[in-house]
Structure 1
Amino acid sequence: MLVSAPASGQGKTSVTAALARWHTKQGRRVRVFKTGPDFLDPMVLERASGTPAYQLDLWMCGEADVRQRLFDAAGACDLILVEGVMGLFDGDPSSADLAQELGLPVMTVIDGSAMAQTFGAVACGMASYRKKLSMYGVAANRVGSDYHAKLLKESLPASLHWLGALPRDEALVLPERHLGLIAAAELDDIDARLDALANAWSQHASTELPTPTRFKEQHIDPVPMQLHKQRIAIARDAAFCFIYQANLDLLSEAGAELRFFSPLAGDSLPECDAVWLPGGYPELHLSTLSARRDLHKALRDHRDADKPILAECGGLLFGLESLADRDGNEAPMAGLLAGRAVMQSRLAALGMQSVELPEGKLRGHTFHYARAWIDEKPLAHAANPNNGPCQEAVYRDRGLTASFVHLYFPSNPLAAQRLFLP
């Protein structure tokens, strides 16, 4: 099922996580995907299901990539859940486009906290808005009582299945910060929260599932092994946590040896041929990252030796001369690129991105609250496929490639590999 909603903030992630953990507890093998380029929701969904959560996006990933991942999952599990993005019909392509293209039955999650029988009217409107979309059922979030759940359930027509509900309870809320949910690894009680969601779901859960969907295997060329024995050091901790599992898979399939290190934990830069500084939350760890002068020097030496470094979004911010948080606290950073950045309360950029580099064209997305002043001439500018205002600059200094764009490596496996080659 694709789990969607009339709008953001209705509780899609909570319901998807509750479903995944509840069905897992029933002994079913569950795989969960996330529509769109989001990093944070998949971290929660991976923890809920016990398996990696991959992204599905018809534009960023491509239809063949999406279909093959679903085909592979279908052969290994009993239930596939796909969490949608924003409202069901929002965006281009939208969650509805994905569901219709792939034949996925849709569950709509509706915040029922301030309604009763109107719940059924909203559900009917969602179900009838696009005729070729298969709306299977409805779930409620933030229900006040068993009686309230009963009213919501009885408001649905026979054609829409009642699939369950979550109560209005602060103990079930997944905490958030400015980019979305707090990363699952930062929550010491994440498993207790997920178990509580599953237990709450069980009070009103339906065991009925839609008719199985069939997926055809796609012909996708194997990843060429251009990175054989190439050692790639990858920063990974709470400051550098925005990493697509599909990107790691591609690097491994291409023959690379992945060496993870934590700047926050004081790890030195591993012996490596290339470095990847992913996105994340460097602004939340200014003092620790600023104090890592040994790492700053090691990264500058790596750049000066004309060895590859890919710095994405938070990695770019760490690579500048200084970074200030939203309270105005400013600290020196690694100094890989001349410039400074500040975090602001307003969203600075959001949207899909396509960028033509000397290595080839790659797709990805941008989403950040930082404003940067960089004293370098851009190598290229990304384009937004929906003609949106976000067109991120890409900078290059010797082997360093830096940008606010989060790249999806499988969108062009050859080009992605070339970023890590001298």
Structure 2
Amino acid sequence: MYWKRLDRNLKVRLVGEGLFNICYWMYFPFIALYFSMTLGSEVAGAFMMLPPLVSMIGNLASGNLADHFGRRPILIGGAAIQTVMFVFFACSFSPWLDYAAFIGIALGSALYRAPSLAMVADVVPEEERRDVFALFATTNNMGAVVGPVMGAFLFFQFRQILLWTTASVLLLYLLCLILFVNETKPTSTHEKQVSVIAGVKHACVAYRHILGDRVFARFIIAGVFSVMTIMQLDLYLAYYIVTEIPDQRFLFFELGSMLLTGETILGWMLALNGLLFVMLVFPLANWTKRWKERDLFVFSCLLSGIGMFALGFVSTIWSLLLLTVVFTVGELLRAPISDSFVSRYAPMESRAMYIGASNLQYTVGRMLAPLTILFATWVAPLGIFFFMLVCSLASAALYTNLFRMISQNKEKHERGS
């Protein structure tokens, strides 16, 4: 998908989200570590489970709101909440206020996600959606290349400046959304909302139907197990690298060497993770176009789980970077096909609600993922890495069962017709 062929809405969002994510990745990978240092690892592990719960509520609400009131107002609302919360974060003088701002940012992000994905599905033909979702994944992860390396220094030394910069970028993006982004909701799905209570009842009935779909429910549960593994790069793995991996020298062949601390090693791993997303997610999406979705989901889970589990057996910088490549490839194989699967599976009139419901896999996965930090006090690292492997294998098994059910349902439908 060439730039000139993209809808203007998507062009504005690609630029705005790309700039915001450069700032975002300077702070997000270190937030769990920051709360562990200021509130204690046990408290932080428990408290990091609350923002995903808030996100889950926001995702479900945003899907219903976007299907009834349109994508644009919910996008603007989500961006506005994040802008205000980053200002609050920058003005904070207490880790508890920092935590409150972090929850607000999670809510704004959740409100933003469902209409943003629905907007892509609204304006892009089905056969091109995987490419466009891959393009968004590439753009959104460009910040992950330089962000963690810069954030390893800026977040702890100049946190207020970093947060004010992020708030300023978000404010500019918010203005661009207001001025240049148009509504994309299909006209056939416009419905009149007679009251707030009626809207809530409609949402409850609709989500009960969506989550009662056995195929879609398995998709969400499989995603939860997969996300629990993927999210460890910013959670337990960050804690493990900083506290367990010894300082070591990195040799530049015969040109000299430099001492790497745990924080520096973590920054390099995060930067490599982001660089691989930028370089490979779009080419891989094209290369795997002829692969079956089932095979991509399963292979992704296996790479992520095996890569994470193997981290428990190594400690040198080269080994850590090599395994970062392994589990990152697993992650980026999954990124575009997950969104394209939902946009294809969902009925047009309920597209945003299905996307909002599908986000449960991310919010629930992120809510459960911090358990690894909570258990870090009592469980040896190898035990936690083994738990990540088990989660990945469970996800692979559920995806296999999911596509078997789809095939069986298709055969029944063909026989019935």
Same fold, TM-score > 0.5, yes or no: no
TM-score between the two structures when normalised by the length of structure 2 = 0.24
Kindly name which structure, 1 or 2, has the bigger radius of gyration based on alpha carbons: 1
Q: Which has the higher contact order (CA 8 A, sep 6+)?
A: 2
Write 1 or 2 for the structure with the bigger share of strand. 1
The structure that is helix-richer by fraction is 2
